[in-house]
Amino acid sequence: MNGKKHGALSVVALPEREPPADVVALLEDLLARTKAGEIAGLGVSASCTDRGTLTAYALGDAEIPVLVTACERLKLRLLEE
């Protein structure tokens, strides 16, 4: 892979491919539910194409213990997969 430095970030050129349809559908559903006022805060964990991971959160009006509980529920769902 060919990498370039941009300031403190290292950018890696990856082969182009279509995004997974189920991931796009989930993100679109979450966006629609957020716009409808159903989602108060969000935590995201992602597996990236370079085999790395990404985590992010937006607390919004949610409480930290509620998001931590949601993360634990997600962990259990993944382990049961």
User: 62: part of which helix (H) or strand (E)?
Assistant: none
Q: Helix or strand or coil: residue 69?
A: helix
pLDDT tens string for the chain (81 positions)?
A: 455 555 676 776 666 889 999 999 999 999 999 999 999 999 999 999 999 999 999 999 999 999 999 999 999 999 999
Q: Look up the pTM and report it.
A: 0.73
Check if the beta carbon of residue 60 is closer than 8 Å to that of residue 70: no
- Length in residues, the chain: 81
Q: What is the dihedral of CA 45, 50, 51, 54, to 10 degrees?
A: -20
